[in-house]
């Protein structure tokens, strides 16, 4: 099964309904790989750190489509995308688009806007307290948060799996227990990912990913991500489909089967 990203239909405008869901990841990935192959690794890494690309048709002249491209990045990364960096990224994208009669007329950058939580004033006022970590970077900005043991989770499924893992951790002897890291930021080749759970056990590390309805149209991207995690040193990646699990006993069996793989 190929993990190649689906390309947009270049006979249509890039912001056409048929293309809009494809063009962001495709243009970012293609441009980053092109820069990497040319030895421009810093530009490739800047492109890989872009969260999302927004694009719309800007003008059409001489049978060429000109586009306005907006890069959406995490607020802390914004200073890295100065005019020189944007120019280099725009030139990389133009090399990808020009053979199809498309061009980048203007390129901009904006910060990713966090969702507002009810307790936002408290978050701001405690900014001089403990510094943020790479644990659950995006869920920390969500209005509703699932938290246990000062660890943050994206949803109830992750929290319930964490509780099962913690129960298993407590049942194992001190000299042969497991480490549980939910939603830790990890840099792999070309991008930063957040495995749902990174588990250490018996001198090895593996990941658990929870799949739900939002994963149905992302099988190819998930396959690519799993492969990158394995290439980065993880022994294996196991997926739990939350739509197919109905009882706590099934989750516990999944965890037992997962841990058994460490001994194989």
Q: Are 162 and 151 in contact (CB under 8 A)?
A: yes
Give the CATH number of domain 124-263: 3.40.1350
Mean pLDDT of the chain: 85
Spatial separation of the C-alpha atoms in residues 202 and 177, rounded to whole Å: 8
Sign of the alpha-carbon dihedral angle for 14, 8, 221, 38: negative
pLDDT band with cut points at 50, 70 and 90 for residue 2: very low
Spatial separation of the C-alpha atoms in residues 262 and 85, rounded to whole Å: 44
**Concatenated DSSP letters of 22-61:** HHHHHHHHHHHHHHHHTT-HHHHHHHHT--EEEEEEEEEE
Domain 20-111 architecture: 2-Layer Sandwich (3.30)
User: Residue 114 in 3-state DSSP?
Assistant: coil
pLDDT digits (tens, 9 = 90+) for 199-220: 999 999 999 999 876 545 455 5
Integer Rg of the chain from CA: 21
Does the pLDDT at position 162 exceed 90?
A: yes
Spatial separation of the C-alpha atoms in residues 26 and 8, rounded to whole Å: 8
pLDDT band with cut points at 50, 70 and 90 for residue 1: very low
pLDDT band with cut points at 50, 70 and 90 for residue 82: very high
Spatial separation of the C-alpha atoms in residues 181 and 162, rounded to whole Å: 9
Q: Look-up: residue for tokens 């480490």?
A: 179
Does the pLDDT at position 257 exceed 90?
A: yes
| Exposure string for 163-179, b = 16+ CB within 10 A, e = fewer | ebbeebeeeeeeeeebe
Structure tokens at 84: 């020189």
Q: Are 57 and 20 in contact (CB under 8 A)?
A: no
Domain ranges of the chain: 20-111, 124-263
pLDDT digits (tens, 9 = 90+) for 6-62: 889 999 999 999 999 899 999 999 999 999 999 999 999 999 999 999 999 988 877
């Amino acid at each position: 099964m190929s993990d190649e990203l689906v390309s947009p239909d270049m006979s249509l405008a890039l912001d056409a309904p048929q293309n809009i869901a494809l063009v962001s990841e495709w243009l970012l990935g293609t441009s980053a790989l092109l820069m990497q192959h040319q030895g421009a690794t810093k530009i490739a890494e800047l492109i890989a750190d872009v969260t999302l690309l927004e694009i719309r048709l800007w003008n059409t002249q001489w049978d060429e489509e000109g586009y306005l491209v907006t890069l959406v990045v995490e607020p802390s990364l914004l200073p890295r995308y100065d005019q020189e960096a944007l120019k280099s990224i725009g030139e990389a994208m133009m090399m990808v688009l020009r053979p199809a009669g498309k061009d980048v007329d203007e390129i901009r950058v904006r910060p990713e806007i966090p969702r507002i939580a009810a307790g936002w004033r408290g978050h701001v006022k405690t900014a001089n307290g403990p510094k943020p970590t790479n644990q659950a970077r995006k869920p920390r900005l969500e209005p509703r948060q699932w938290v246990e043991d000062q660890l943050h989770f994206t949803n109830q499924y992750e929290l319930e799996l964490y509780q099962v893992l913690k129960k298993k951790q407590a049942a194992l002897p001190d000299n042969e227990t497991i480490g549980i890291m939910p939603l830790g930021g990890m840099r792999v080749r070309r991008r930063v990912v957040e495995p749902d759970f990174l588990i250490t056990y018996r001198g090895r590390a593996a990941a658990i990913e929870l799949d739900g309805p939002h994963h149905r149209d992302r099988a190819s991207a998930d396959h690519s991500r799993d492969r990158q995690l394995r290439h980065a040193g993880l022994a294996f990646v196991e997926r739990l489909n939350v739509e197919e699990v109905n009882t706590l006993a099934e989750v516990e069996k999944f965890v037992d089967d997962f841990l058994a793989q460490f001994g194989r």
